[in-house]
Amino acid sequence: MTIIDDFVNMMTEFFASSHAAVIHFPIVGILMSFAAGATAFGIKVLVDILLKREMISQDTWDLSLRYVRRFEFSSYILLILGILGYGIAGYTGFQSAGGVSPAIENTLLEYKVRLSIYTLFVLLTPLILKTYVGWRYHAHIFDRKHIILPILYLIPIIIGAALTAIIAGTGGKYVYGHSILETFGLGFLIPQG
Protein backbone atom coordinates (compact mmCIF):
# COMPACT_ATOMS: atom_id res chain seq x y z
CA MET A 1 0.00 0.00 0.00
CA THR A 2 1.18 3.45 -0.84
CA ILE A 3 0.54 6.67 0.99
CA ILE A 4 -2.06 7.55 -1.66
CA ASP A 5 -3.96 4.31 -0.97
CA ASP A 6 -3.86 5.08 2.75
CA PHE A 7 -5.20 8.58 2.11
CA VAL A 8 -8.00 7.30 -0.14
CA ASN A 9 -8.99 4.68 2.46
CA MET A 10 -8.94 7.30 5.22
CA MET A 11 -11.14 9.70 3.20
CA THR A 12 -13.55 6.89 2.26
CA GLU A 13 -13.92 5.96 5.93
CA PHE A 14 -14.33 9.63 6.86
CA PHE A 15 -17.17 10.13 4.36
CA ALA A 16 -18.83 6.84 5.30
CA SER A 17 -18.85 7.70 9.01
CA SER A 18 -19.78 11.39 8.70
CA HIS A 19 -23.29 10.92 7.27
CA ALA A 20 -25.01 11.17 10.67
CA ALA A 21 -23.38 14.55 11.33
CA VAL A 22 -23.68 15.94 7.80
CA ILE A 23 -27.43 15.28 7.49
CA HIS A 24 -28.12 18.02 10.02
CA PHE A 25 -26.82 20.76 7.72
CA PRO A 26 -29.60 20.53 5.11
CA ILE A 27 -32.21 20.18 7.85
CA VAL A 28 -31.03 23.35 9.58
CA GLY A 29 -30.44 25.21 6.30
CA ILE A 30 -33.95 24.53 5.04
CA LEU A 31 -35.67 25.29 8.35
CA MET A 32 -33.71 28.51 8.82
CA SER A 33 -34.43 29.48 5.20
CA PHE A 34 -38.13 29.13 5.96
CA ALA A 35 -37.75 31.06 9.24
CA ALA A 36 -35.95 33.95 7.50
CA GLY A 37 -38.48 33.99 4.65
CA ALA A 38 -41.43 33.86 7.04
CA THR A 39 -39.91 36.73 9.03
CA ALA A 40 -39.53 38.80 5.85
CA PHE A 41 -43.14 38.03 4.94
CA GLY A 42 -44.37 38.87 8.44
CA ILE A 43 -42.60 42.22 8.47
CA LYS A 44 -43.89 42.99 4.97
CA VAL A 45 -47.51 42.18 5.85
CA LEU A 46 -47.39 44.06 9.16
CA VAL A 47 -45.87 47.18 7.61
CA ASP A 48 -48.32 47.04 4.67
CA ILE A 49 -51.25 46.95 7.11
CA LEU A 50 -49.83 49.82 9.15
CA LEU A 51 -49.15 51.85 6.00
CA LYS A 52 -52.69 51.35 4.68
CA ARG A 53 -54.14 52.46 8.03
CA GLU A 54 -51.81 55.46 7.89
CA MET A 55 -50.23 54.46 11.19
CA ILE A 56 -46.74 54.76 9.68
CA SER A 57 -45.19 56.91 6.99
CA GLN A 58 -43.77 55.89 3.64
CA ASP A 59 -40.31 56.59 5.07
CA THR A 60 -40.89 53.97 7.75
CA TRP A 61 -41.96 51.49 5.05
CA ASP A 62 -38.77 52.26 3.12
CA LEU A 63 -36.71 51.64 6.26
CA SER A 64 -38.48 48.38 7.03
CA LEU A 65 -38.02 47.29 3.41
CA ARG A 66 -34.27 47.14 4.04
CA TYR A 67 -34.88 44.58 6.80
CA VAL A 68 -37.32 42.64 4.64
CA ARG A 69 -34.71 42.40 1.89
CA ARG A 70 -32.05 41.29 4.37
CA PHE A 71 -34.24 38.46 5.62
CA GLU A 72 -35.12 37.58 2.02
CA PHE A 73 -31.43 37.40 1.10
CA SER A 74 -30.70 35.30 4.19
CA SER A 75 -33.50 32.92 3.25
CA TYR A 76 -32.12 32.60 -0.27
CA ILE A 77 -28.55 31.92 0.87
CA LEU A 78 -29.69 29.43 3.52
CA LEU A 79 -31.77 27.64 0.90
CA ILE A 80 -28.72 27.36 -1.35
CA LEU A 81 -26.68 26.02 1.57
CA GLY A 82 -29.45 23.57 2.45
CA ILE A 83 -29.52 22.27 -1.13
CA LEU A 84 -25.73 21.95 -1.19
CA GLY A 85 -25.98 20.14 2.14
CA TYR A 86 -28.41 17.72 0.51
CA GLY A 87 -25.77 16.83 -2.07
CA ILE A 88 -23.11 16.27 0.55
CA ALA A 89 -25.49 14.28 2.77
CA GLY A 90 -26.47 12.15 -0.22
CA TYR A 91 -22.84 11.45 -1.07
CA THR A 92 -21.95 10.52 2.50
CA GLY A 93 -25.13 8.43 2.71
CA PHE A 94 -24.13 6.39 -0.32
CA GLN A 95 -20.64 5.99 1.15
CA SER A 96 -22.15 4.86 4.44
CA ALA A 97 -24.40 2.33 2.68
CA GLY A 98 -21.47 0.93 0.71
CA GLY A 99 -22.42 2.39 -2.65
CA VAL A 100 -25.48 3.06 -4.77
CA SER A 101 -26.41 -0.59 -5.40
CA PRO A 102 -26.69 -1.60 -1.73
CA ALA A 103 -28.60 1.61 -1.02
CA ILE A 104 -31.30 0.99 -3.59
CA GLU A 105 -31.62 -2.72 -2.82
CA ASN A 106 -32.89 -1.99 0.69
CA THR A 107 -36.55 -0.90 0.87
CA LEU A 108 -35.98 1.86 3.41
CA LEU A 109 -32.90 3.26 1.70
CA GLU A 110 -34.53 3.10 -1.72
CA TYR A 111 -37.49 5.06 -0.32
CA LYS A 112 -35.09 7.54 1.24
CA VAL A 113 -33.23 8.04 -2.07
CA ARG A 114 -36.47 8.56 -4.03
CA LEU A 115 -37.86 10.98 -1.48
CA SER A 116 -34.56 12.89 -1.45
CA ILE A 117 -34.71 13.34 -5.21
CA TYR A 118 -38.31 14.57 -5.03
CA THR A 119 -37.41 16.91 -2.18
CA LEU A 120 -34.50 18.31 -4.14
CA PHE A 121 -36.85 19.24 -6.99
CA VAL A 122 -39.32 20.80 -4.54
CA LEU A 123 -36.52 22.89 -3.03
CA LEU A 124 -35.22 23.98 -6.42
CA THR A 125 -38.61 25.59 -7.14
CA PRO A 126 -38.25 28.60 -4.77
CA LEU A 127 -34.58 28.91 -5.70
CA ILE A 128 -35.46 29.16 -9.39
CA LEU A 129 -38.39 31.50 -8.63
CA LYS A 130 -36.19 33.90 -6.64
CA THR A 131 -33.44 33.81 -9.25
CA TYR A 132 -35.89 34.35 -12.13
CA VAL A 133 -37.73 37.25 -10.47
CA GLY A 134 -34.42 38.93 -9.63
CA TRP A 135 -32.90 38.38 -13.05
CA ARG A 136 -35.92 39.03 -15.25
CA TYR A 137 -37.73 41.78 -13.37
CA HIS A 138 -34.97 43.15 -11.12
CA ALA A 139 -37.38 42.76 -8.23
CA HIS A 140 -37.44 41.10 -4.84
CA ILE A 141 -39.84 38.34 -3.83
CA PHE A 142 -41.04 40.25 -0.75
CA ASP A 143 -41.46 43.68 -2.34
CA ARG A 144 -44.56 45.66 -1.49
CA LYS A 145 -46.29 45.11 -4.82
CA HIS A 146 -46.14 41.31 -4.60
CA ILE A 147 -48.42 39.22 -2.41
CA ILE A 148 -48.51 35.84 -4.17
CA LEU A 149 -44.75 35.56 -4.81
CA PRO A 150 -43.81 35.27 -1.12
CA ILE A 151 -46.38 32.51 -0.69
CA LEU A 152 -45.13 30.69 -3.80
CA TYR A 153 -41.62 31.03 -2.40
CA LEU A 154 -42.38 29.84 1.15
CA ILE A 155 -44.72 26.90 0.49
CA PRO A 156 -42.13 24.70 -1.30
CA ILE A 157 -39.60 25.42 1.44
CA ILE A 158 -41.91 24.26 4.23
CA ILE A 159 -42.92 21.22 2.15
CA GLY A 160 -39.22 20.51 1.61
CA ALA A 161 -38.60 20.80 5.36
CA ALA A 162 -41.42 18.32 6.07
CA LEU A 163 -40.09 15.89 3.47
CA THR A 164 -36.61 16.27 4.93
CA ALA A 165 -37.99 15.26 8.34
CA ILE A 166 -39.48 12.14 6.75
CA ILE A 167 -36.14 11.37 5.08
CA ALA A 168 -34.34 11.75 8.42
CA GLY A 169 -36.96 9.59 10.13
CA THR A 170 -36.47 6.91 7.50
CA GLY A 171 -32.73 6.97 8.18
CA GLY A 172 -33.41 6.61 11.89
CA LYS A 173 -35.66 3.62 11.20
CA TYR A 174 -32.94 2.04 9.07
CA VAL A 175 -30.15 2.57 11.59
CA TYR A 176 -31.94 2.13 14.93
CA GLY A 177 -35.00 0.06 13.98
CA HIS A 178 -37.38 2.83 15.05
CA SER A 179 -37.96 6.46 14.18
CA ILE A 180 -38.96 9.58 16.04
CA LEU A 181 -41.80 9.85 13.53
CA GLU A 182 -43.27 6.68 15.03
CA THR A 183 -43.12 8.30 18.46
CA PHE A 184 -45.32 11.12 17.15
CA GLY A 185 -47.73 8.70 15.45
CA LEU A 186 -46.38 9.41 11.98
CA GLY A 187 -44.85 5.98 11.37
CA PHE A 188 -47.23 5.44 8.45
CA LEU A 189 -45.06 7.87 6.44
CA ILE A 190 -42.21 5.35 6.46
CA PRO A 191 -42.34 1.99 4.67
CA GLN A 192 -42.28 -1.01 6.97
CA GLY A 193 -39.40 -2.79 5.24
What's the predicted TM-score (pTM) here? Answer: 0.85
Q: Report d(CA 29, CA 54) in Å as an integer.
A: 37
Q: What's the pLDDT tens digit per position in 47-106? A: 888 888 888 887 887 788 899 999 999 999 999 999 999 988 888 888 887 888 887 888
Q: Report d(CA 17, CA 136) in Å as an integer.
A: 43
Break the chain into its structural domains and give their ranges. 3-189
pLDDT at 23: 81
pLDDT at 1: 66
pLDDT at 157: 97
pLDDT at 16: 63
Give 192: exposed, middle or buried? Use CB within 10 Å, 0-12, 13-18, 19+. Answer: exposed
Q: What's the pLDDT tens digit per position in 112-169? A: 999 999 999 999 999 999 999 999 988 899 886 778 999 999 999 999 999 999 998 9
Q: Which of 150, 153, 104, 89 is nearest to 124 (CA)?
A: 153
Q: Which of 72, 68, 162, 88 is nearest to 123 (CA)?
A: 162
User: Average pLDDT in the 27-39 region?
Assistant: 95
